[in-house]
Chain A
């Protein structure tokens, strides 16, 4: 419940703010790196890219600390805008030290960095009206992990225990769709240039992750609305409702993954050593999904139309994601735009690098999805927690 503001609570709040500033600055750096390199689809890590030196990580930490100190002095400017100016100070200090300490960064890139940082900072500040310690929320969530596991299990079991084919339905739908599309594209349309890989492998390597994304976000829109009755009667951390939907989607995904491995083996493609990258890629995708799901889940309660809008939006995103086609068939400018606007495009490309072409994913092309995922998830969660007690008023 409401807790009294002890010095420990204040310390946690400032730790929280330091984390926020660090996130903003790091995000700015990654976006700046990607903008300078103009990395397009699937390009392997080139010589032009030197690994970010550890000094950058140090600078980000220093910038975050400077921001918090600045915030202490700017406290009289009240809440939100005090945080904004504190962030600007931190960004400025970091930009200046970048110019002096790391000559490999051009001035233009430092300018990119500052712009991106301010942009990300404004987004985070807009979405987090109240300061609310993240550690408290996470602690409460951890205490309720039993409920989460229970809920996911019951939902998965009850969804499939009443149908004749049971758990098979989880895999039947995407696999059937894939087979039909694979047939259509292999025999009816002329084959795209996808290398030596069989089309079904090429297609499934994108489709399975897209199914996870689509299922999670689509169900995320109704996660809160469908439980408003319960929300009205008892308090529990509301994000559990969103996490339950994510958990269900993950369970389905696990089955589809196994079936995909079997299908791949049948056409002669076997798991390779680069599969060790898959958990990292999946983590990025899950963080992205969680941020989106919390936002659409909350907003659907306010405006019910969000549910339909999301469905249309996802349909559109499907065609902007290189699932049925390799990204190379797009013109260079279009490919760049698609990869930049659609975080799933870069992710699908990375999955495909691993599962079809047996090579390490291009992490530079993933900078933008990573920043987007973390910013969305963090600010989405803060927004969610700051407003969750208003949910019961929207019956």
Chain B
């Protein structure tokens, strides 16, 4: 079986400071370069590697959990997989349709109504408009928004925004799903509904890549887990073993 996700020696370097030159700085640098003064501190000299030499492959139907402390590079990895950014080094190949559910509710236009945002977000994810039309009642029911669906998103609570974001996932039928912190929104009831939807993805043999700080959820969903630390793979293996090692390491660090 051919792997659906191949990640080979992928590294991502970020510029240390946000590099957004104005013409003034550009001209300054140009003059310096012309004069031959090359002692300028450029971002090249202060690289920050958000990810370093990551490699793994996933087959169709696999589910991979990604855990690690804040700033370990989890979200960067997901952004690389979904094609938002490209790796500085290495090679990534993703075969098939994928739906990124990254930072739910992100990407909404807050001036528009919930209904308009459903259309826009689903269309951005590549769903044809007639299909959105058909799925609309289902989505609205899932969000539990009621008449708020035709009010601007700016008056929604953060839980409502999250529910709206997750609801859009219900009409997607991707081969691969990327999930990032999807359980940080909503109450217990909504979280269990979300979990049902994700389990439904699993039953359809959808490949899952799942980022979470909730180790319980990772253990429930993923057979295999990748533990990232400072942009490098600390451990890669069966979920139970990796989670146990991660918890031990965290306990030791907090104990000190």
Q: Is A164 an interface residue (CB 8 A)?
A: no
B85 at interface by CB-CB < 8 Å: yes
Query: In the complex, what residue of chain A is closest to B82 when comparing beta carbons?
Result: A235
B14 touches A146 (CB 8 A): no
B84 touches A305 (CB 8 A): no
Interface residues as binary, A283-324 with B (CB distance below 8 Å gives 1, 0 otherwise)? 000000000000000000011110000000000000000000
Does residue B40 face the partner (Cβ distance < 8 Å to A)? no
With both beta carbons as reference points, the residue of chain B lying nearest to A143 in the complex is identified as B126
B85 contact from A143, A147, A393, Cβ within 8 A: A393
- A residues less than 8 Å from B233 (CB atoms): none
How many residues on B have C-beta within 8 angstroms of the other chain's C-beta atoms? 37
Cα distance, A377 to B117, chains bound together (Å): 31
Interface 9-mer from A17-25, A226-234, A257-265: A226-234
| A234/B93 in contact, CB under 8 A | no
Interchain CB contact under 8 A, B23 and A158: no
Q: Mark B75-107, 1 if CB is under 8 A from A, else 0.
A: 000010011111000011111001010110011
Which single member of A2, A233, A303, A304 contacts B103 (CB below 8 Å)? A233
Contact of A1 among B23, B26, B94, B103 (CB under 8 A): B94
B84, A392: Cβ atoms under 8 Å?
yes
Determine the chain B residues whose CB is within 8 A of the CB of A302 once the complex forms.
21
State whether A2 and B84 are in contact (beta carbons under 8 Å apart), knowing that A144-B126, A147-B123, A154-B120 are contacts in the complex: no
The CB with the most chain A CB atoms within 10 A, among B83, B84, B112, B128, is that of: B84
Q: Find chain A residues with CB under 8 A from B112 CB.
A: 154, 158
Q: Mark A225-254, 1 if CB is under 8 A from B, else 0.
A: 000011111111000000000000000000
What number of A-B contacts does a CB cutoff of 8 Å give? Answer: 81
Query: Which single member of B23, B86, B120, B125 contacts A151 (CB below 8 Å)?
Result: B120
A-chain residues with CB within 8 Å of residue B92 when the two chains form the complex: 1-2
Q: Which residue from chain B places its CB closest to the CB of A390 in the assembled complex?
A: B86
- Contacts A233-B107, A234-B107 known; A4 to B120 CB distance under 8 Å? no
A261 to chain B, nearest CB (A): 32
Q: Is A150 an interface residue (CB 8 A)?
A: yes
Partner among B19, B20, B86, B102 whose Cβ is within 8 Å of the Cβ of A234: B102
Shortest CB distance A365–B (Å): 35
Q: Is B18 an interface residue (CB 8 A)?
A: yes
Contact B23 A229 (CB under 8 A): no
8 Å CB interface, B90-146 against A: 91-95, 98, 100, 102-103, 106-107, 111-112, 116, 119-120, 123-126, 128-129
A317 to nearest B CB, angstroms?
A: 20
Interface status of B38 (Cβ within 8 A of chain A): no
Q: How far is the CB of B7 from chain A (nearest CB, A)?
A: 11
B78 to chain A, nearest CB (A): 11
Is B22's beta carbon under 8 Å from chain A?
Answer: yes
A49 at the interface (CB under 8 A from B): no
A187 within 8 A of B: no
Q: What are the residues of chain A within 8 A of B83 when measuring CB–CB?
A: 1, 235, 389
The interface centre, meaning the residue of A1, A151, A154, A232 with most chain B CB atoms within 10 A of its CB, is A1
User: When chains A and B are docked, how far (Å) is the Cα of A3 from the Cα of B96?
Assistant: 10
- How many angstroms between the C-alpha atoms of A235 and B126 in the bound complex? 10
A139 within 8 A of B: no
CB neighbours (8 Å) of B20 from chain A are 304, 394
Which residues of A1-21 are within 8 A (CB) of B?
1-4
Chain A, residues 135-150, CB within 8 Å of chain B (1/0): the string is 0000000011011011
Chain A 82-116 residues near chain B, CB threshold 8 A: none
CA distance A71 to B156 in the complex (A): 58
Give B231 Cβ to nearest chain A Cβ, in Å: 16
Q: Which residue of A lies closest to B14 (CB)?
A: A393
Complex: how many Å from CA A321 to CA B107? 40
B148 → chain A closest CB, angstroms:
18
A window 373-395: CB within 8 A of B: 389-390, 392-395
> Which residues of the partner chain B approach A235 to less than 8 Å between Cβ atoms?
82-84, 100
With known contacts A158-B112, A234-B100, A234-B125, A2–B93 Cβ distance under 8 A? yes
Given contacts A233-B106, A304-B22, contact A389 B95 (CB under 8 A): no
Least Cβ–Cβ distance between A335 and chain B, in angstroms: 33
Considering the chains assembled together, what is the distance between the CA atoms of A385 and B23 in angstroms? 25
Question: Which residues of chain B are within 8 angstroms of A2 by Cβ–Cβ distance?
Answer: 91-94
If the complex has contacts A234-B100, A303-B22, are A150 and B123 also in contact, measured as CB distance less than 8 A?
A: yes
Instruction: Choose from B91, B98, B100, B123 the contact partner of A146 (Cβ within 8 Å).
Output: B123
Give the residues in chain A near B79, CB-CB below 8 Å: 232, 392
Query: Contact at B94–A147, with CB atoms within 8 Å?
Result: no
Q: Binary interface profile of A, 209-238, with partner B (CB < 8 Å = 1, else 0)?
A: 000000000000000000001111111100
A233 contacts B84, CB within 8 Å?
A: yes
**Chain A neighbourhood of B14, CB < 8 A:** 393
Complex Cα distance A228/B111, Å?
Answer: 17
Closest approach, in angstroms, between the C-beta of B94 and any C-beta of chain A? 4
Residues of chain B lying within 8 A (CB to CB) of residue A154:
112, 116, 120
Determine the chain B residues whose CB is within 8 A of the CB of A389 once the complex forms. 83-86
30 residue pairs bridging A and B, Cβ less than 8 Å apart = A1-B83, A1-B92, A1-B93, A1-B98, A2-B91, A144-B126, A146-B123, A146-B128, A147-B124, A150-B119, A150-B120, A151-B120, A154-B120, A158-B111, A233-B102, A234-B84, A234-B100, A234-B107, A234-B124, A235-B83, A235-B100, A303-B22, A303-B26, A304-B20, A304-B22, A389-B83, A389-B84, A392-B84, A393-B15, A393-B85
Residues of B within 8 A of A (CB): 14-15, 18-23, 26, 79, 82-86, 91-95, 98, 100, 102-103, 106-107, 111-112, 116, 119-120, 123-126, 128-129
**10 closest A-B pairs by CB:** A147-B123, A389-B86, A1-B94, A146-B129, A235-B83, A305-B23, A233-B106, A233-B107, A392-B85, A392-B84
